Chains A and B, each alone.
Chain A
């Protein structure tokens, strides 16, 4: 990645993230509970939406079925309280085996 673009974008992320953490440590107890609630909800929505698009798409093209099936198995495993490390490895295993069998 181009150094200038990286430094600008990553620098923004790094500085904003540190200031959020620092603000929390110093003034977090005075934070409005409704603001906290909506930040929390927005975070869940964004993370879930990113997980979905990373599963279904490669850029803007539909991804192969092997990854979609592997991720589905991994998420179901999480739902049934399989530890994260095991669920991640399971998703990778299913995807890898389907690819080995020739699925795109």
Chain B
């Protein structure tokens, strides 16, 4: 067995908090999915294979609002595109062989951040251990929570509990640290205004894509930096 230092124990405790929070998000994702008209097998399959909280909430939210499935899928892919950069970090410590193909599926915001924490942070084997253990635990929480959420939503009036207020806050939490930088905050506020103003006039699900125009003046004035 591995000897655990106190710093390791702190790291694993924060891993447990991550799983608990994810479980709560998964339950609300399952209930949203139910409202959007997805079947239980569809919710579970999407949770297990797409394995990206924000992208899936975006996907079922768009479909649920009557948006086109193509817009829902494209939006989800764009949101998941950050995993390309995360994958680069994971590529430095994942063992060679079949584990690369398995490890790739576990790449997400939390597993990458968690892999970098702890005392044996510089050691590739320690990083791989933290990354893979949390990745599998999160996958289990995500799928089982989503299934539970869908079953609960079928028998309980979720609106009375304010569940619909949970998703925007969950999405905001995922970008909050970015928003503390002023240029990002200003861009985000402009995106909010554009999205809200165009929503009544564009097909459902496209408002968020329209908000991308706010990047245009920034890109032109700063030459891509």
Residues on A lying within 8 angstroms of B by beta carbon are: 1, 5-6, 8-10, 12-14, 16-18, 20-26, 28-29, 31, 34, 36-60, 66-67, 70-71, 74-75, 78-79, 83-85, 87-89, 91-96, 99-100
Contact = CB atoms under 8 A, between A and B. Distances in A.
A71 B165 contact: yes
B165 A78 contact: no
B30 interface: no
Contacts of B105: 18, 21
Interface of B: 17, 20-21, 24-25, 28, 36-39, 42, 45-46, 49-52, 54-55, 58-59, 61, 63, 65-66, 69-70, 72-73, 75-92, 94, 100-101, 103-105, 107, 159-176, 178-179, 184, 187-188, 191-192, 194-196, 199-200, 204, 207-212, 214-215, 218-219, 224-225
B188 A50 contact: no
B82 A43 contact: yes
Contacts, number: 285
B54 A47 contact: yes
A78 B215 contact: no
A50 B59 contact: no
Interface centre among B21, B37, B46, B84, by most chain A C-beta atoms within 10 angstroms, is B84
Interface centre among A43, A46, A70, A91, by most chain B C-beta atoms within 10 angstroms, is A46
Given A25-B103, A31-B85, A48 B169 contact: no
Given A12-B73, A31-B84, A88-B25, 20 more contacts: A13-B80, A14-B49, A18-B104, A22-B101, A22-B104, A24-B107, A28-B91, A34-B225, A38-B219, A49-B211, A50-B58, A51-B171, A53-B208, A57-B65, A60-B204, A67-B165, A75-B169, A78-B172, A87-B173, A88-B169
Contact of A45 (B66, B84, B188, B196): B188
A19 to B, nearest CB: 9
A48 B188 contact: yes
A13 B76 contact: yes
B124 to A, nearest CB: 14
B78 A26 contact: no
B42 A10 contact: yes
A82 B212 CA distance: 29
Nearest to A58: B65
A100 B204 CA distance: 30
B187 A94 contact: no
B104 A6 contact: no
B77 A46 contact: no
Nearest 6 CB-CB pairings of A with B: A24-B87, A28-B88, A95-B162, A9-B69, A49-B211, A74-B169
A22 B172 CA distance: 27
Given A74-B169, A75-B169, A10 B50 contact: yes
A38 B224 contact: yes
B161 A96 contact: yes
